[in-house]
Structure 1
Amino acid sequence: MSSISKIVQSHRPDLSPYISLYKHLHAYPELSHQEKETAATAHSRLSKLHDFTLYPDIGGHGLAAVLENGAGPTVLLRADMDGLPVEEQTGLPYASTARVVDEADGVEKPVMHACGHDMHVTSLLAAAELLYSAKAEWGGTLVLVFQPAEEKGAGAQRMVDDGLYERVPVPDVVLGGHVMPYRSVMAASTILRLQTIVSRELDASTPTVLTVYSIHAGDAENIIPASATLKLNLRTLDASLRTQALSAIKRILAAEARASDAPAPPTITPTSTFPFTVNDAAATATHEAAFGAHFEPGEHGYSADAPRLSGSEDFGVLASAVLRPSSFWIYGGTDPAVWDDAERKGCVREDVPINHSAWYAPAVMPTLRVAVDAYAVAALAWLAKGEGK
């Protein structure tokens, strides 16, 4: 057993209270920029760990906490807090039935933790208790960031703009993780053509996702609508591909409008933009070695070669804003029995709910234990005595 594993095993807290906390957070999610109660819960838990200095209400409901523990590096661990406007269909006894008014548009919406941010908050709080208990084993400064509005791609930047790094020390490295599911009118023609951008115009070796996820045109079956509104989601893993794809979108929208003799050219309004998430090679190698020693490797265990994902994240802003390296990992949250059964039937894609699905909910255990250990192991790879960089 590695020295870091011994620390984690010796100081990992009883997770039973955190299982209850997770279920509470899952049952009471909050929308982006409205995470008041979630942040208050995190604040209350951390205030019991008396050596943490707490900084609430950064960039909205953002919360930062600092634990100074002698000489050594400064490590930032991040968890996001917001839920999504999705009506939960999991049937869990702790399923969300929340409906709240979205402050962004004044519309009442169902809310669900359909992306696992409740797991992120819970596991970071448990990791904080672990690292607090293990203070004699490490040296340096630990910074925790509970970030709002990740789903809008705005929370990290708002925290930075609101003086995050005027309150907490600038980190040497920024670390974070995410739970994942492992183990027609004229617009109709436009939708079909837009899909060809990915298949015919972009480098097929680099994953790119372009989805028309919403269309609205008119309200009555016997009235020709004067306009149509399409909402697109574009995800690329390369800045040049993003530029190329955006150019193609604008070109096709304009051409389709002209071909259909539209009375006016299309209006393109950006909604949200996420930065690229790029793992720093050296930073990743540091905690990757610790992960490899702590987590059992194998087909259903730890792998240093996970596939690149097309999900969106604003995590990188916390590092790029202060020109520091960052590293982001993923971990599975699907019940192994559910995954194995779906795999046997050859229907993983059909039977395993993905993030943002109304049916998505991680198996609480062992997901919580893995998430807690990942935060702690990654931090200790930098902070543990004899391990720090």
Structure 2
Amino acid sequence: MTDTARLTEDLTSAVAHDELAAFYQDLHRHPELSFKEHRTAAGLALRLRAAGFTVTEGIAGTGVVGVLHAGDGPVVWLRGDMDALPVREATGLPYASTVDGVMHACGHDLHVTWLAAAAEALAAGRDSWSGTLVVVGQTAEEAGGGAAMVADGLHERFPRADVLLGQHVTPGLAGFYPHTPGLIMSASNNVDVVVHGVGGHGSRPETTVDPVVTAAYIVTRLQTVVSRETAARDSAVLTVGEFHAGTKPNVIPAEARLAVNLRTQDAGVRDRILAAVRRIVEGECAAAGCPVPPEVTVRPGGYPLTVNDPALDAEIAAVHRELFGAETVLDLGPAMGSEDFSLLVPNGVPYDYWFVTSTPPEVWEAAPGEGLEEKFAAVPSNHSPLFAPDLSVLVPGVRTLVSAALTRLSV
């Protein structure tokens, strides 16, 4: 066993499952939306201070950074995101959300738990390594909070990273640690569409230009952009996630609003699809006789590609194999999901990002299908109201972070 794996086992031997479970379940009961994670941030800051970190709160509103110096050596950043989603929980768990319509459906409560415990374990063993550990509790991952923290001076106010490390809980039978060198997560862009019609009484549609019908045609036609305008070799996903129109059944509204989400893994593909979205929206509105051209607006920001440093990923994957078994580390290839993790990284700094599978064994076994892909598609995913990670992943998720940090801290 390497020194990194051996030291990881030593530093995490005192991590108590029951204490972690209590902290995690408390976070799960009290989810907070993007940029509103005040209670969550305070809980993380409290634990970091108790462990000996110098803590700064309020970065971009609710972001938290803890800094621990332990002699000369590399600067390692560990990141965990904190925000929940506007999803009504349907898990039936005894520690289900107590906030109506808000849920930790993406597992960021688990990320905070892992981050806090990893920071505590590394702090307790600071005599066994040297360097600087920077722990980042990121606000609003679901709303571009990484960019907001950078804009609030994240790179200038704290020691410059030599490496940035992070992980994400994911569906899949609990006990696996997917690693992908190079491209691992897709880019994401959101597009807002406003269709302008002519409103009127529901009994006299001939006097109107119905934006609901036009928007419905747009939604349907947009589904052909990937299936008929994008080469099979090019990965892309286009989703219409919002459709808002009308206030009463007997009133034809004057406008309809759509929000489109696009995931791509190539800038040229993204540009072609965005052009197709604009063309289809404008064409359908012209065909319907809309009195005013539609508004098609690509929201600023968006999430870039997440591209792991191959050498760094190989090193961290190797220590994870040592700790958990060679069969537990696998490469599932790039995901169509997106992250703002890479937005936190100063230019030129290598980073690595991996997954921790979390589906309870009984849920996995009961899922229909025989192969991995069939079962993976059948179990609750991130953003589902049924998403419920198995508590068996609490301590392993701490060990993955600790071991990753120790691959770069001077041991």
TM-score of the aligned structures, taking structure 1 as reference length: 0.90
Aligned equivalent of 2:49, options 28, 47, 50: 47
Q: Which runs of no fewer than 5 residues in structure 2 stay unpaired?
A: 174-211
Q: Could you tell me how far apart the structure 1 residues matched to 2:391 and 2:266 are? A: 34
1:276: Cα distance to partner?
A: 1.7
Q: Could you tell me how far apart the structure 1 residues matched to 2:143 and 2:396 are? A: 27
1:210: Cα distance to partner?
A: 0.5
Task: Please say if residues 141 and 339 of structure 2, whose CA atoms lie closer than 8 Å, have aligned partners that are also in contact.
Answer: yes
The equivalent of 1:356 in structure 2 is 383
Aligned equivalent of 1:35, options 34, 37, 41: 37
Q: How many residues align?
A: 368
Task: Please say if residues 170 and 382 of structure 2, whose CA atoms lie closer than 8 Å, have aligned partners that are also in contact.
Answer: yes
Secondary structure, in 3 states, of the residue corresponding to 1:42?
A: helix
1:384: Cα distance to partner?
A: 4.4
The equivalent of 1:178 in structure 2 is 168
The equivalent of 2:67 in structure 1 is 66
Cα RMSD for the two superposed structures: 1.7
TM-score of the aligned structures, taking structure 2 as reference length: 0.86
Q: Could you tell me how far apart the structure 2 residues matched to 1:289 and 1:170 are? A: 26
Judged with a 3 Å threshold, the aligned counterparts in structure 2 of structure 1 residues 185 and 349 are, in CA distance, closer, same or farther, namely farther
The equivalent of 2:180 in structure 1 is none
Please show how residues 310-389 of structure 1 align to structure 2 within 5 Å.
Answer: 310-319=336-345, 321-342=346-367, 348=375, 351-365=378-392, 367-385=393-411
1:124 and 2:115 matched: yes
Aligned equivalent of 2:228, options 193, 200, 205: 200
Q: Could you tell me how far apart the structure 2 residues matched to 1:82 and 1:68 are? A: 28
Q: Which runs of no fewer than 5 residues in structure 1 stay unpaired?
A: 100-109
One-letter code aligned to 2:157:
R
1:254 and 2:282 matched: yes
Judged with a 3 Å threshold, the aligned counterparts in structure 2 of structure 1 residues 350 and 170 are, in CA distance, closer, same or farther, namely closer
Residues 83-133 of structure 1 deviation map (CA, whole Å, 9 limit, x = unaligned): 01111110000000214xxxxxxxxxx211000000000001111111112
1:207: Cα distance to partner?
A: 2.3
The equivalent of 2:242 in structure 1 is 214
Secondary structure, in 3 states, of the residue corresponding to 2:407?
A: helix
Q: Could you tell me how far apart the structure 2 residues matched to 1:3 and 1:328 are? A: 22
Aligned equivalent of 2:312, options 283, 286, 293: 283
Secondary structure, in 3 states, of the residue corresponding to 2:135?
A: strand
Q: Could you tell me how far apart the structure 1 residues matched to 2:62 and 2:249 are? A: 44
One-letter code aligned to 1:90:
T
Deviates more, 1:340-349 or 1:174-183: 340-349
Secondary structure, in 3 states, of the residue corresponding to 2:335?
A: coil
Task: Please say if residues 163 and 351 of structure 2, whose CA atoms lie closer than 8 Å, have aligned partners that are also in contact.
Answer: yes
Judged with a 3 Å threshold, the aligned counterparts in structure 2 of structure 1 residues 355 and 226 are, in CA distance, closer, same or farther, namely same
Secondary structure, in 3 states, of the residue corresponding to 1:205?
A: coil
Q: Could you tell me how far apart the structure 2 residues matched to 1:370 and 1:241 are? A: 38
Report which of the two has the higher share of strand. 2
Task: Please say if residues 291 and 377 of structure 1, whose CA atoms lie closer than 8 Å, have aligned partners that are also in contact.
Answer: yes
Judged with a 3 Å threshold, the aligned counterparts in structure 2 of structure 1 residues 350 and 156 are, in CA distance, closer, same or farther, namely closer
Q: Could you tell me how far apart the structure 2 residues matched to 1:14 and 1:384 are? A: 26
Between the two proteins, what is the percent identity of the paired residues?
45
